[in-house]
Amino acid sequence: MGERTMKKNILCIGAGYVGGPTMAMIARQCPDRRVTVVDINEARIQAWNSDTLPIYEPGLNELVRACRGRNLFFSTDIARGIAEADIIFVSVNTPIKTFGHGAGYAADLQYWEKTARLILQHATSDKIVVEKSTLPVRTAAAMSRILRTGDSRVHFEVLSNPEFLAEGTAVADLTNPDRVLIGGADTTTGKAAVAELIALYSAWVPSDRILTTNVWSSELSKLAANAFLAQRVSSINALSALCEATEADVTEVARAVGMDSRIGPKFLKAGVGFGGSCFRKDLLSLVYLCESYGLQTVADYWKQVVCINDYQQTRFVATIVQAMFNTVAEKRIAVMGFAFKADTGDTRESPAIRISRLLAEEHACVVVNDPQALANARRDLTDLGDRITYEHDPYAAARNADAIVFLTDWQEYRQLDFRRIFQSMRQPSFVFDGRIFLDRQELFKIGFNVYSIGRPPLLQ
């Protein structure tokens, strides 16, 4: 290995949740390509090169092990990676801006711009630069301008190729994507670059699932897809409040609504709200974009999706406090599940962060349990110090608790010995099911007072 072959060398800058799994899949499916993933974070690269990968994702270990050291490499040598690559994927993070104009809404593009300047600095041959990160519409154009400021003998062609994988199912989503979207310029070099990327994905993706558009449609489609998905969750969550008020059952409503083939059953699960690195950020980015184009009514429409999500969490905490005789002060409350969804250790924007904080504000003694996300939980709540405790064993977390609050629908929680838990708790005991995934009749029979979102409570 090492010497350049006919096939183009691939580099990915950013070894995160998107860059790592995506590049492992490309390496696996295209054994004749050399794929290198670089990152400024040395510890992260070390982890990718170790037996304990930096992210938890079903099937990822096997995938990485099959190619690492063969045609998949993880390194911190960004300069060399850029110099040797023909196609550069950029998958650095684009968090919400925390300062200046657009703070709290706009995407923070500083890492993207720094990366573009690094590419410019170290490139000595033509490059295709691919946006993998979710970015505001027209970012590619800005990047092209930066890249054009250098040595005019080197040509950069910027493409947009957003990633639609969901965490927890990344490997399955990458293996069998609904679509691969490639946005490129309608010029000779643009079309050639798009053809290169199509060739790459064609190794395993059927051609009718590979879509090409102009760059801005591609950038906007990613924001739009996430906004639509989030909107469905907020729609059903908005109805869950009405269900609780009227004694309708949100799971029955969702089922009936979802059986309309025009609507479909997915993303209609009510709960404590959506989390994850993308939905909130992309919605707010869309809102900011609409506002900057003077489309205030459109901006307000999408903003409301975020408002319902926040509302759902405060509403859930209000239910807990009210159910427990209007006070949780000094009561032990076990928070079961901190990850933003099952099968991931990721806690970015997890509803559990806000809910734990609100419970701590009510002076509850919060004990957090999660099979994968405890380290992240500690970091997210670090400023609360010893007001929060962390417990690896769910039974120990529940011992002497007044309530157990389920915020992530981990499979292992379904299998808990709830009788044993009930006997170890203070009475009366409460279960709050924030993901509507437990057998509530069974819990009620054991002796719990059972509250699940969007359904009438079962009270002893």
Q: Which residues bind ligand UDX (CB under 6 A)?
A: 13-19, 39-41, 44, 91-94, 111, 114-115, 133-134, 163-167, 226, 229, 233, 267-269, 271, 274-279, 340-341
Ramachandran quadrant class, 249 (left: phi over 0; alpha: psi -120 to 50; beta: rest) = beta
| CA pair distance 358, 249, nearest whole angstrom | 26
278 is a catalytic site residue:
yes
**How near is the Cβ of 157 to ligand UDX at its closest, in Å?**
20
The beta strands (E) that lie in 245-342 are given as 332-336
Residue 50 phi/psi, 5° resolution?
Answer: -105, -175
**How near is the Cβ of 410 to ligand UDX at its closest, in Å?**
12
| CA pair distance 85, 250, nearest whole angstrom | 51
> In 10 A of CB 312, how many CB atoms?
26
- Contact call for residues 236 and 243 (beta carbons, < 8 A): no
Instruction: Tell me the residue number closest to ligand UDX, measured at CB.
Output: 16
Task: List the one residue out of 107, 159, 136 whose CA is nearest residue 293.
Answer: 136
**How near is the Cβ of 301 to ligand UDX at its closest, in Å?**
19
- Contact call for residues 345 and 276 (beta carbons, < 8 A): no
Comparing CB distances to ligand UDX, the nearer of 192 and 307 is 307
Comparing CB distances to ligand UDX, the nearer of 269 and 357 is 269
Copy the structure tokens of residue 369: 């349990």
- Contact call for residues 159 and 184 (beta carbons, < 8 A): yes
**How near is the Cβ of 221 to ligand UDX at its closest, in Å?**
11
At residue 352, the 3 state secondary structure works out as helix
Q: Which member of 30, 243, 278, 290 is catalytic?
A: 278
Comparing CB distances to ligand UDX, the nearer of 74 and 418 is 74
Q: Is there a cis peptide before residue 428, judged by omega within 30 degrees of 0? A: yes
Comparing CB distances to ligand UDX, the nearer of 82 and 443 is 82
**How near is the Cβ of 131 to ligand UDX at its closest, in Å?**
9
Residue 220 phi/psi, 5° resolution?
Answer: -70, -35
Comparing CB distances to ligand UDX, the nearer of 218 and 226 is 226
Write out the catalytic residue numbers.
Answer: 278
